[in-house]
Structure 1
Amino acid sequence: MRGSTAGLAEGTIVSPDTVHAAFLMFLDVMFSSLLAAPAVIAYWRGTWNLIEIFLFPNDALLSAFSSCFIGTIGHFVFYYYQRRFSQSFHPDKHRITFMIISRMYTAIYGVVCVNGWRGGWSLMDLFIPKKVHTYFAILMISCILLAFCKGLRNISASPLAISTDHSKDYFTVPTMFKASPISDPGFYFMDCTFSVLIIGTLVVFVWRSMFALCDLLIYPSDESLSAWYSLTLGYGIIAVTFGLQPLLKWACDYLTGFWRLAVADVFLFLGFVGTANVWRSVWSLLDIYFLPDEVLISNLITHGVSIVFLAMLNCSNSVLVRGVYIDAEETGGQCVIFPVYYIRLYFQKERTKKQRRQLDAEKGQQTELLETCEKSPAQIVKNVNGDHKIVT
């Protein structure tokens, strides 16, 4: 879900100002908004509702605390064993084993993530009165605290982020202070605790507050109309956000310090408003229209089909909410560029493969010339076209 261009496996893609580059960026935005995002939301909806069905359905408080426990312990396990996973499972060593383990990792970690969010979300529903001023205060306080920690970026989600299933960082879970579990295990434990319990909880508070405000303010008496309105509003804001990226990037290229961070955070929050409305609308529309009389089957389908579909697209990691990213950690205006790289990443990889093949071919030609010279005395010269010739 969350992400930053600083954490991109292949490095930040800086697209040139060409029609071709703009077209590829447009395709990435369409892919993220119309394919990846609905699948991610459907997965979360199905998984969340299945947990509500099976995890102490008759005791809301016990169910909420159980989800908190599963989410917290699960996050710590995946934080602590990320290095071991990366060292033990790599496609260059055992490709089939990596494919099996990595997809099992995503399936299990996805349930952990949903439980972690559901626990805090449910506790808020149980103990916080559903009033506009209450949730608005929680939203503002949580955003300010995240901005103070330079962690507001962590409220971002699909369609403003895509996490592809690259082997290089498949198991990587960044922490707030980037501590090392080997050189300083004590500090790493505190780093993980802060990342999971403080940053993670504040992010849940922001999302739950925004959902509650939308529930209270957008046609609260008509669930269907409210969902369709949120869908229009959400995708409208997302379109504006992507459209403003070049202007904001230009501004952040020149701004420094506090003002650069402030502009980035305001822009991130604008994108979050659109993202939250997209999530709320797609989730609600699935509840209303997709097999409403067969709740269990509906949720099983959205859970299973979505994760398989995303795995086939090689971006199943988009369902995971893991790690902490720092606001404006990228250089220049890259801090306002959302990590929506899928089609462009494919072309970059193909371009890299072509360059490597050309280099290998040139090395092969040079090796062949040297072997020929060793067998018979010769002189290597270049003709006017720059090609090598052997003159005996």
Structure 2
Amino acid sequence: MASKSVPRKVILGCVWTAMSVPASDMWKETRVAAGTEPLCRQQQAWPTSAASREKRKASAQDVLAAPLWQEHQPAAAADEKWSASCEDPAAQPLWQEQGQGQVPAEYLQLQRRRGRRGRLPGRLLAVADALLASLVIAPLVVTTWVGVWTLEETHQLPAVPCFLAALAVHLTLALIQDYLPRRLPARSDDFRTASRGYTLLLAVMCITQWRSGWATAKPLDLRATLLLSAVCLVALLCVRSTKGLLTPPFFVFLDRHGEFFAISTRFRTSRSQHGVLWVLDCAFSVLVVGNLIVFTWRGVWTLLDLYLYPDDQLWSAIASLVLGYGVVLVAFALQLPLSLAVGRLQGASRLLAADLYHLVSFFGTVNVWRGVWNVLEIFLLEEYPELGCWVCATLPLFLLMLLGCGNSVLVRGVFIDGEEPGGRCIIFPCKYLRAYLQDRKQKKREKRRQQLAEQMVNSANHATSLPTFVNPPETTL
């Protein structure tokens, strides 16, 4: 039987069609059958049309909106995605978002792996953060307060005008807290300059407010002073703000752009939604809650001056240091087990347990501050009064700015007792090394996502540059 010859044009058309398809589509059917083909390619018909290639290109460029290709990445990218889901305890686990009935094996394997590898380093970092906050950051903060406080007393600044001026500046900065981040982009020279001036100004105003407030209450006798402190403490319990009594070593505030100018209010109102109520909320938080904290501190400090070695300043300072750091050590040691116990409570019992823990920690904080303060007065300010004040006022604040935690000097904002869910309401914001390492991991993750996105864009551009036949010619052999 004579064989029919195939036309040369038909053969050339078939070869051109095969060459026009990207190399990744040559083995597409195998990947779809194995379940590894991305969803955006499973839904496309072969050969790929120009419209579908443009759609895939747009999906690859918008990594945050449509990361369909990330769901079927190799094992390293999948492990990274499960890790990101596990690192954020507030986020819903990925396997629950997908509506699966049981926990995937990858999730359980990652949890076991992280439990074996990350438990000991995480605890060591928590201990290192506590030691750094107690032995480095807290003494630097107290030294800054001693220097500015003593300078103002040396120059005999009037109490009432300074008190009103400090409140006015503090309230003004609270009202413009949303405006400053928009005008000062992150990692810019303007932000670096303005942030340092902001920290310096608000630090001086906070110390002036406290010194002037204590000076206005100085004429009161012991009974009136203790009564005022007790009333202020009861008022703080009523407005659920006893956590605001704490300072370093239990609090460490980092100099981050998103949180640098933030001054939290008591009722958490929004400027864009509430307007006048937001202004009243700022005024209440600065003028009322802030001064309640000031006079509560004064009462406890006065009691320690009266009953803790009142005739010997050195032994009084040593006793305060021993007592204060002892309470701080116990508070940090019991934080994790108490958080688990408080997490099982609900309602008023949970709030009461959190308040008791905050008050015990507050007692340790006052003793640490008083001990460091008296030691500086004995060994530095008595020998070199003028020079010692200027050194204490400038050098520690400069070191804190270099460490990236200059905001720890400030006393601002309102903390609400029991605001965090479960037992996290008694977890102190004392993360320095852990926050630094977490930021590094986040930057690496974002860099890796950008590299994957660029690879997808390049592959999509390569697929777009090759011509294809929408309807390839039929061949009859």
**Cα distance in structure 2, aligned partners of 1:186 and 1:146:** 24
Does the C-alpha gap of structure 1 residues 38 and 369 become closer, same or farther in structure 2, counting only changes over 3 Å? same
**Cα distance in structure 1, aligned partners of 2:444 and 2:348:** 42
Q: Aligned match of 1:81 in 176, 179, 182?
A: 176
Deviates more, 1:14-23 or 1:80-89: 14-23
Is 2:381–2:389's contact at 8 Å kept on the other side of the alignment? Answer: no
Is 1:67–1:118's contact at 8 Å kept on the other side of the alignment? Answer: no
**Cα distance in structure 2, aligned partners of 1:22 and 1:183:** 41
The answer as to 2:367 corresponding to 1:277 is yes
Q: Aligned match of 1:361 in 416, 440, 451?
A: 451
Q: Aligned match of 1:118 in 211, 215, 225?
A: 211
Does the C-alpha gap of structure 1 residues 44 and 291 become closer, same or farther in structure 2, counting only changes over 3 Å? closer
Q: CA deviation at 1:136?
A: 4.5
Q: CA deviation at 1:329?
A: 0.6
**Cα distance in structure 2, aligned partners of 1:303 and 1:279:** 16
The answer as to 2:185 corresponding to 1:96 is no
TM-score under structure 2 length normalisation = 0.71
Look up the match of 1:21.
122
| Deviations 1:206-241, CA, capped at 9 Å, x for gaps | 111111111011100000100011001100100000
Look up the match of 2:357.
267
Is 1:234–1:273's contact at 8 Å kept on the other side of the alignment? Answer: yes
Look up the match of 2:345.
255
SS in 1 for 2:420: coil
* Identical positions, percent: 32
**Cα distance in structure 2, aligned partners of 1:218 and 1:199:** 29
| Deviations 1:250-299, CA, capped at 9 Å, x for gaps | 01211111011100010001111000000001011001001423211111
**Cα distance in structure 1, aligned partners of 2:89 and 2:316:** 38
Gaps of 5+ in 2: 1-86, 92-113, 469-477
Look up the match of 1:191.
281
Q: CA deviation at 1:360?
A: 1.9
Q: Aligned match of 1:163 in 253, 266, 278?
A: 253
**Cα distance in structure 2, aligned partners of 1:304 and 1:38:** 14
Is 1:71–1:117's contact at 8 Å kept on the other side of the alignment? Answer: no
SS in 2 for 1:160: coil
Does the C-alpha gap of structure 1 residues 359 and 186 become closer, same or farther in structure 2, counting only changes over 3 Å? closer
Look up the match of 2:336.
246
Look up the match of 1:67.
162
Q: CA deviation at 1:137?
A: 4.0
| Deviations 1:129-160, CA, capped at 9 Å, x for gaps | 135xx555444332221111011111010000
Look up the match of 1:44.
145
Is 1:154–1:203's contact at 8 Å kept on the other side of the alignment? Answer: yes
**Cα distance in structure 2, aligned partners of 1:299 and 1:213:** 26
**Cα distance in structure 2, aligned partners of 1:158 and 1:376:** 63
Does the C-alpha gap of structure 1 residues 12 and 181 become closer, same or farther in structure 2, counting only changes over 3 Å? same
Gaps of 5+ in 1: 1-9, 57-62, 379-392
Q: CA deviation at 1:12?
A: 8.2
Deviates more, 1:366-375 or 1:117-126: 366-375
Deviates more, 1:175-184 or 1:300-309: 175-184
Is 1:150–1:327's contact at 8 Å kept on the other side of the alignment? Answer: yes
Is 1:135–1:213's contact at 8 Å kept on the other side of the alignment? Answer: no
Does the C-alpha gap of structure 1 residues 355 and 144 become closer, same or farther in structure 2, counting only changes over 3 Å? same
**Cα distance in structure 1, aligned partners of 2:426 and 2:189:** 37
Task: Compare CA radii of gyration and give the structure with the larger one.
Answer: 2
SS in 2 for 1:90: coil
Is 1:237–1:271's contact at 8 Å kept on the other side of the alignment? Answer: yes
| Deviations 1:106-144, CA, capped at 9 Å, x for gaps | 101111111111111112222x2135xx55544433222
**Cα distance in structure 2, aligned partners of 1:365 and 1:12:** 31
